[in-house]
Structure 1
Amino acid sequence: MAGLRQPRNGFFACPYCTPLRCRLRNIPLSLPLCGASVQYQDEQMKLALCWLPNRAIFAMQRIVIAYCYPREIISSAVTGSGITAKKPMINARAIKDALTTNTNLLCIATDQAGVIQFFNRGAEQLLGFEADHVVGKLNMLDVSAPQENSSFADPLTATPVMPVTREVQASRRWSTAPTSGYELNLLRKDGRPIPVFATVSVTHDAQGTVSGYVFVGWAYDEQKQLYTSEERFRRLFESAQDGILILDAVTGIVIDANPFLLSLLGYTIAEIKAKYIWDLGFFKNIADNKANFLELQRQKYIRYADLPLETAHGKVVNVEFVSNVYLEGSIEVIQCNIRDNTARKVAEENILKLSQVVDQSPDGIVISNVLGEIEYVNHAFVMETGYSVEEVIGKNPRFLQSGKTAPETYKALWAALTSGRTWKGEFLNRRKDGTEYTEFDIIAPLRAGDGTISHYVALKEDGTQRKQLTEELQAHRLHLQELVGIRTAELAEAKNVAESANHAKSTFLATISHEIRTPLNGILGMIELLTLSDLDDDQRAKLDVVSQSGQSLLRIISDILDYSKIEAGKLEIINEIASVSRIVGNSCNLYRASASRKGLTLKSDIDPQISPHVWADPQRLQQILNNLVSNAIKFTNEGQIAIHAKLVKKRPNLELIEISVIDGGIGVSADQMKFLFEPFTQIDTNSTRRYSGTGLGLSICRRLAEMMGGSISMESKLGVGTTVRLIVALAPAAAIEALPPQVTDNRANRANRANDLRVLIARDLASNALSAPADGTLVLVVDDHPANRLVLVHQLKALGYAAETAENGLDGLEKWKTGRYDLVIVDCQMPILDGYEMVTQLRAIELATGCARTPVIACTANAMIGEADKCKAVGMDDFLTKPLEITDVAQKLNLWLPLRANKPPLGGDTAHHAAVDTNTLAAIFRGSATTKAELIRIFRDANDQDASDLRFAITARDIVATMRTAHRIKGAAGLIGATRLASLAKQIEQECGEANWQAIAEMLQQFERELGQVNAFLDSA
């Protein structure tokens, strides 16, 4: 067959049967027709005959002409591609005649001049002309509206042509192009214009020249309405929130499905269209085979309220199914409406649950309309009142009233409800049997969708039982209040007992501290004074044993007090600039002699990466390290003890430092180790007797380390040795020049040497009670213990001061009133009049008389928390704790009552121009070369370290440290006659009051030059 294309997928593709959104003879033609098998095709007439199941399609010029010819009428066969002709082919000319003559489409053919040569029945019906009156007589212009006329020449030819419509002109101009569609305005016979959509084609003769034109079209208004209707239907179809499935009622083939159904099923339209419904397996019960489908077809209308629908993923969805059979033109289709029941079933289940909750509620529930008529009551209401449901429906709830409810209650009820608010209250109602009961109600309005009140719901609780419970609860509450009162009183009593016990503990510790420190003060003070006298080696060795025993006892007391401070949370960590190397060096210097006595070697190693200066509490770090080193020496009999300080990790503002103490001592087992850090605990009770100690040391160390944000750990092996590690995170301080290596890091030793200097000088410059008032160095010692008075008097004498004593506060106050004393040292706890009251009265007298303030230093054996604050509160200026060391006494006296360094010369001229006053030195030496050498050594050691500390403090801009160090240098320099050096130190001290760092820096340069001259003088003296 001419022009027949080869089949694809078993079908011939039709080039003319395109899906058009229009209706012809009420037959929907929006279906793609390219799936039809082409049975006839003629390229010359642009005509095709296509087959669909049981239907035939005639298409011409891409316009579907008919879709209603039964397949039995037109029987044909096509040869080729495996298709064998079985019946003769229908006559092509007969088909052409049928299509052009009998179709309702307008079909007009003209010659080259536009004279109408063919006018079919569709044209007659549309325009009102008869073919006999038109063919060969009228031009196309005669049936066209005036605006369609055109009189321009054909630009493709040189010869003018007859006036024709612009569409014809366009067709001639592009005679080789595909057929085009146009909107034309044609004229009916009665003169009315009618819009027509038409295609215009050019015909050619045998020689290929233009022989005429063919117009094929239809009334545009009618088709436009059909198109609009089709679009509206399509939008509804595609936007519907229910599934819609269209089936061919005869064949069971899927014609269409809307997006909602495709989404529900999980298929695409291509996967289900043009397939038999029973092959898809959607419906297991009504369309799983052809027989079931035919039943669906036969019943016309079917509805299933809950039908299982299987999706593409195998999931079963319950749906509501409704099917209808109806005609689309001459085609019978089945439309299936499918609604997903999931949401409805959930809603129904929720409604059922709510209904069960309401009906099974233990409280009565009543729902009434706005007129107050009851529409619903639950089972609890029926059981409570004795009325059946039938008896109360439609009634007003007032039938329950007993007449004993106050009228104000009902007024408040309706005032709340009519304003849209919830009401709560009590009613005294009557049951059906006449018994009365108390009812607690919560009544709330229910609103309709528009916000208006439609009903009222009342939740009714039996108030009788509730009232009984309320009364019982009230009784219990009163009883509970009584119990709470009793328990509160008991707790208050227990609190008072606990506080009394705590106070008793504090008092006990204070008493123990006082009672132990008082005799210790006498023991250690006298020992210290004896060391200043001339002793042989045997005497000094025996005195050392006594001194060490006293110091051990003092450490025990200090441990107990430290632990009590930690437990009370009153021990504070005070950070300042410190040196790790100095702290390690202090421990080495302090314990080197003890290690040597046991034949042990004590060495240290400092990681150079550790910052020279860090922010820490040097006193507490020193306390921890001293305890660890002391333990290592105590439990090691031979070998060495090593102290290592290393940098574990370094960050910009933080250094993780590990200080470890390693010994080769007795060691401990793993089981014993866990008890070592417990307070008052030792691994072996025998060790207490062999090595002494309270068992508090390591416990205090761990608590101190934790308070500093660090930790202590231990590794030990029995019989091999122990390693204890202290790890702390410390912030590096400002970079400062390292201290001179030849100068000792032991601040305590330096202070001792500085005071040794004062003691040495005081031996020859000691005042007596007669000359002391004139020198301003007479001290009044007030203490009830004779040993304490004796020790303190001798210490003062050794330091160059004169002293008088009083045995109680009353005696001391009377002596002070004489006005002879430059400083008072007073014990706090004394009979008759204690130190607190004495100083209180002393300050009151000063204030009343306007006399000069006398410095008062407290001297107490109570080292408990808050003692220093208590002393300051009554007017005392400073604080000393027993037992008193001469260095501590010297430090306080140098602060409040410094010795005069410029006493009258003992003979000879004073070398004012020298760095050191030679007359002062001569008075001190008294011709003793030994005294001279000892004096110079002590001064140089102490003063060199003080000078280094001064540089450190000024560089760090530490105002307190600068003032304190300058004051110390001033006193020491004045003692040996270095007056210019003392003067410069005094100026630096004064400038600290204004924090004038520029002036201090300039004075430091002068100080350095003068210090060099002093050192040079002493080296040559």
Structure 2
Amino acid sequence: MNPIRHLLNGLKREWGKSIRRQLAWSFSLVSLFVFMGSVCFFYAFQRDFLYEQGNKNAFALARTLSFSSVSWVLANDLVGLQEVIQGAEESVDIKFAVVLSPQGEVLASTKPEYIGLFFSDEISRHLLEQQPGPQKLVDESNLVDVAMPIQSGNHLIGWVRVELTRDTANTVLHEIAAGGLGLAIFLMLIITLIATWLAGGLTRGLDRLAGVANDAEHGRSFQRQDINRIDEIGVLARHLYRMLDTINKEQMARSAVEQELRQHKDNLEVEVQQRTEELVHARDAAEAANRVKSDFLANMSHEIRTPMNAILGMLYLAMKSEMSPTLHNYLSKTEGAAKSLLGIINDILDFSKIEAGKLEIESIEFSLDIVLEQLTDAIVFQAEKQGLEFLIHHDVNIPTRLIGDPLRLGQILLNLCGNAVKFTEAGVVELSFSGQSVSENGLTLELCVRDTGIGMTPEVQNSLFQKFTQADQSTTRRFGGTGLGLAISKLLVELMGGRIWVERSQPGQGTTMCCTVPLKISQKDQTQQHELLEKTGPLLKGIRVLLVDDNEISREILADMLHSFQLDVGIAVNGEKSIEQLQAASGKPFDVVLMDWRMPGMNGDEAIRRIRADSSIQPQPKMVMVTAYGREEVMKLADQAEVDGFLIKPVSPSTLLDTILSVLGRGRVFGLGEKDRGEITSAVALNYAGAHLLLVEDNEINREFAVDLLHSMGIEVDEAVNGEEALAMVQQRDYDAVLMDIQMPVMDGMEATRHIRALGKKPGNARFSTLPIIAMTAMAMAKDAEKCQQAGMNDFVTKPVDPDRFKTTLANWLKEKKKNLGEKQATETIPQISPTAEVTTPTIPTDLLALKNLNAAQGIHRIGGNPAAYRKQLYRFRNHYSGAIDTLQALIAEKGMAAGEEYCHALKGVCGNLSANDLFAAVSEMGSLLKQGTMPAPSDFKRLDRMLKQIIDEIDDLPGQAVGFSAGTTILKQDEIMAKLLALASLLKTDLGSADLLLGELRAGVTDTDTKQAIDDIAEKMDVFAIDEACELITLLTRRLSGTP
């Protein structure tokens, strides 16, 4: 605490203890203030008087010297003049006196050393500029400096300057101050003694009354004090004695009543004890019944979930087959209802487990990033479907490795964020978290979920966390749900030692819900901030990033992350502003642009194309597309716009930093996360083809679902119904992996795995030690995963099986089937790009470099560095788009500007792929006009037609109009055809040049008539740049080849 404040508080306490002290000190302080005020007033008066007298003396002396010096100056007699000035030394307080010529030369001075010098200080210069007359040059507390002119008639012949000290005046003032202060202190002491004596007489009666009251308070007998006064103290004494008499009478009456109550109490205690015993028996019976109910539900988990998982699996397979739109609609609604039913069952079982006391809270080390990543996977699809942005506000100062229960923490977050998405029709759902009470060993994690949804009334908030509770019946009908989610979250938070509450909510204005969860910190942890910057500090120096996003919350989140990496960050709220900033930043260009996709006016892909086509923006920054919507569509648009990187909201700090460093070519410091593996799965899909797995599952429906799913992936499957059969089958055949159920009759999955690993310890059986065994279980607790690992399993997938996560897990563990796909062929089929490999620039033919209206070098780079493939794309463009402007005008005339805008969108995508940058920019502008409902002028169409014809003419002049591909004589097997088809589908979205080469291999290696015709159909779609339709044909062909309906 501040020492001064502590002293004041102590004085205040002492002040309030005694009225006598208050009166005495009040008189003393008042007298002190009066006396000190008087002294100060007298001091100020005397100071002004003495200073004014000193000023008058200075002017008088200067005037005398001026009169005396006239004749000497006129006679130019400096010796006589010096004698006049020297006589001034006898004056009191004189510091110096000088005679100056009009030019400032010292003619005479009390200090002879000044004679002949010129005063050049500011005061002297100011004096020489003044008209003749008295001048006060300095008037300060320690001196006064004045000047008088020396005149002969009206003619100025010099100046007399006199400077006096105020030593005498200041000495007098000090004596006045000392005497006044001493007198004030003396008088204050006299008044203090008198005030103390008077106050003692006034308070003596009060002290005696206080003693009487104190004795009465503690029940002691007291003696009435004779206070013969008629003032207020006497009145107080009489009232006090009457009050004490009344209290005494009331105490006697109360004692009599208490005696009667004690007699009644003795009789009532017997009755209360009897009733209490009856209530205890009733409560125990009710709790026993509730425990029986909860035990029953908690133990039914496996039996209830198993058929539901089978239903969901079969629905997934059924919806992959060809069917009518009506049937697909029925099955889609059935799948939605089944998932809702499974969610209800899970909620009821979890709540029952908590009530039964069977739900355990774990304390294990986990990564908060992984929990948030899993949350994003579960939430972002529904948010995207509703047109919402799901954002996570990361706190980089929170440690990455924590100790707690990640499964239950994720369940709490899923309930809160899922509710926010469910009850929000438009806007944003934002999850933010921060560390509270952080110490070396632990912290309290505070999580807040804010939405822009329907909000709640205060009445609804009061009952929000009760079980089976929603806002009202209309809410249940409109949004569905059991009303258990928040009740479960509340119980889980409290089991983990935290609390949950509604921070803010108003009807129609959204809701903010918060909770706290105490967690421990792993001893080997570092904060995200330290971990990221420690690895990347040298790589971040000097990087400038332009952040483009129309959503204020999203901008703030990403800007905070970028600032935490100590980057130089610029902000733009839309595509137009970003272009303006990039053009204006030519002197200090941006290195990276983070461009949001969906923005009003101009989407991100269009803004990127305009930036790429703008020659004034040099050097070109690296472009990273950021989006929360339509991932496949946006990835395709981003690829056409030639982006360097791609980020999906919500963005984590590590992913953001890794992407920036990657696009700048400064290396990567992080491994692949779950999302990265998920995106890679499709690229390595050919690894599935020809693989041979053993499926061990006792439930027939689950087994059928898994078999069909694996067959759709081109995987050969053998089946076993229990661990004993599996143990025999792995010894008879070499499998690439085993999918093992946990709970089975005869021998469960754990026991079977231990036996298989035991086989690997025998000589010559090394394959059993390295055989991937993947558990399939409905139990997702960390301790269950640990048991699987201890038994020898490599990984696990949870039921109900999510097909995408299932494929991702297999991609991590399946080996390539080398007897069907050699390593060389697999490497040729999918180009492998090393992050650190040097990029070899292809030799570009001179005829392509000579193209004036096409950037051939850029186009060849975009198509994978293949000049022959680029040449073929040019011929395709000429064959299909030479009349594009006529087609565009006809579309607008027949179907309106919306159809014209769609055609412009497709045309500019093709122009972008070929790097026809000028035509791309012109088509983009016309598309923007059509999108705004403005009909372009006829001159605009003529300009576009002229630009297009220039490109067509250049293509016509190219030599070698027929470009073919060498078709080898190698005949492909069915699994090889499927592998190449899967690779072709992936390359169509990323590398058209490599896709053309791979299509040539397929045409040359296929002999079956039907398959050859299907491949020709795919080639026709590729010739007209109908990429989506070509991919659909590839999907149909792979299903037919694999036997999947």
| TM-score, normalization by structure 1 | 0.35
Greater relative contact order, per chain length (Cα 8 Å cut-off, separation 6+): 2
Pick the structure with greater CA Rg. 1
Structure number with higher strand proportion: 1
| TM-score, normalization by structure 2 | 0.34
Structure number with higher helix proportion: 2
